[in-house]
Structure 1
């Protein structure tokens, strides 16, 4: 039987992956650089695969290293939460979490229920803002954790869910057939807005932006009332919306990646526990929708439609 993985080696491995440097990782784990190098040699021997490769002065993860990283994070999270479970005083206090309102509406009920059951003495303080605002809150130390729309440019977040980003219109109006498309978007720094505008410009579609808001409720209202078209992730779809595809003249959009960002905190064990609950909750959430002929997995259907140019689909009530 193979020996179990060493948690200290995994912690060092994570530090190297996050900093891109053996030297900076050594400072974080309070070891010498030679000790860190020795730990990684032993970990590679244990795994039986190379975990790093040089890229200039930085150390980049190999494909095997990237695969190990997600497991390593989960093992460290579980270790901290296991220790906390046997310490009545440890998981107690307040944690500050931020999320955009569209994610809050879809995901928070499951997340809060799971976390509160396991950690009844932890108080959750929740704020709802768009991702750019949450990133600033994280940088300024105003939040311990944020569920955000992942952006490679904005900063590092751990991607925990992927969803198709979809063109949506009202099922009761022919808004998408107008010669000049009326659009409702988030503010100019919204990556969904930029992705949608890029596609429309590439297709030479005429459009005008009628509504701009950081509120998902406002965007949803504009769509359902037939005043505008927008782009939304799967989790934000509502009854009465029509999902538009390439057959309707709307090009494919990039996936929406949902990630977790962590702030500086004196209670990493609470943040780790909440992050794990979020990841597990989002793994378990799906969007099954029904129609008169039965039920179907709309996520799979919508994604296939976007790629294969199937006709638009009207969302039934649920």
Structure 2
């Protein structure tokens, strides 16, 4: 079965239309020699001379005149096939951990949309553990989470540092348990904070346990409690108070992106995603 090379057919049609190897090479961003090689390869494959070339003229041969219409249809079908692939809207399921999402997220999504307008981005926000489980089940194409276990795969986007934050007016009486505002028990930051307090033999009590992130932020900003936050995401107006109250340092971790996408278009979208996150996340 004879198969056709798209580049060779394009070279033939362009030479036929312009009646010049030199102008065809200029239009195709190639060289006259390369165009000649492609045409010779096509003629050898078909077993027919397609172009009659003399020092003064370039014209279709009798066989070339028969082949030219089919060649144009072949190229048009090739262009339609590519247009169908690149114009079709695709869905991209992206998970972003709630404790990772910061002010860079709008920029991140805008960059991804500008890179590929045919991409329908479906964003899901939850805890890192829930999103990683969803990714492992195939429910997400990519997930940006905080590393919370010994799993070492995924692309590291950057470090994540933590600190103890409180309102400037927060008061802690010596001998009383430290008032700690925290989210639900499944929260990874809560686990980091409480383990550090227990290891330092510092008594603590939780307030606003199980509340929303906005409730925790409100309690800390109002001076009612202290909480551990990512240094990127500490509430405005709060200050780091670990030295002030003799609190233990909190271990750092990493922000990681997971994905199993392998096609070139998706991989390029992932590179855009990672670059946007690294460029626009505030310094810790």
Query: Which category describes the TM-score, using the shorter chain as reference length?
Result: 0.5 to 0.7
Asked if 1:250 is matched to 2:259, the reply is no
Provide the rounded CA distance (Å) in 2 between the counterparts of 1:112 and 1:273. Answer: 14
Picking from 238, 246, 259, the partner of 1:241 is 238
Name 2:70's counterpart in structure 1: none
Provide the rounded CA distance (Å) in 1 between the counterparts of 2:255 and 2:211. Answer: 17
Matches within 5 A, 1:106-255: 106-153=103-150, 156-175=153-172, 179-213=176-210, 215-255=212-252
Q: Please give the per-residue CA displacement for 1:153-192, whole angstroms capped at 9, x wherever unaligned.
A: 3573322111211111122332587821111223333332
Q: Given that residues 182 and 216 in structure 2 are in contact (C-alpha distance below 8 angstroms), is that contact kept between their aligned partners in structure 1?
A: yes
Q: Given that residues 161 and 251 in structure 2 are in contact (C-alpha distance below 8 angstroms), is that contact kept between their aligned partners in structure 1?
A: yes
Provide the rounded CA distance (Å) in 1 between the counterparts of 2:113 and 2:278. Answer: 18
| SS in structure 1 at match of 2:239 | strand
- Scaled by the length of structure 2, the TM-score of the pair is 0.62
Q: Given that residues 175 and 229 in structure 1 are in contact (C-alpha distance below 8 angstroms), is that contact kept between their aligned partners in structure 2?
A: no
Name 2:282's counterpart in structure 1: 287
Asked if 1:274 is matched to 2:272, the reply is no
Consecutive unaligned residues of structure 2, counting only runs of 5 or more, are 1-81
Provide the rounded CA distance (Å) in 2 between the counterparts of 1:278 and 1:246. Answer: 37
Q: Given that residues 101 and 215 in structure 1 are in contact (C-alpha distance below 8 angstroms), is that contact kept between their aligned partners in structure 2?
A: no
Q: Given that residues 168 and 239 in structure 2 are in contact (C-alpha distance below 8 angstroms), is that contact kept between their aligned partners in structure 1?
A: yes
| SS in structure 2 at match of 1:99 | strand
| SS in structure 1 at match of 2:219 | helix
State the Cα distance separating 1:286 from its structure 2 match.
4.7
What is the count of residue pairs matched by the alignment?
Answer: 201
Seen in structure 2, the aligned counterparts of structure 1 residues 102 and 152 have a Cα distance that, compared at 3 Å, is closer
| SS in structure 2 at match of 1:196 | helix
Name 1:104's counterpart in structure 2: 101
State the Cα distance separating 1:95 from its structure 2 match.
0.4
| SS in structure 1 at match of 2:113 | helix
Provide the rounded CA distance (Å) in 2 between the counterparts of 1:244 and 1:170. Answer: 9
Seen in structure 2, the aligned counterparts of structure 1 residues 260 and 102 have a Cα distance that, compared at 3 Å, is same
Provide the rounded CA distance (Å) in 2 between the counterparts of 1:195 and 1:126. Answer: 26
State the Cα distance separating 1:251 from its structure 2 match.
1.3
- Indicate the larger mover: 131-140 or 214-223: 214-223
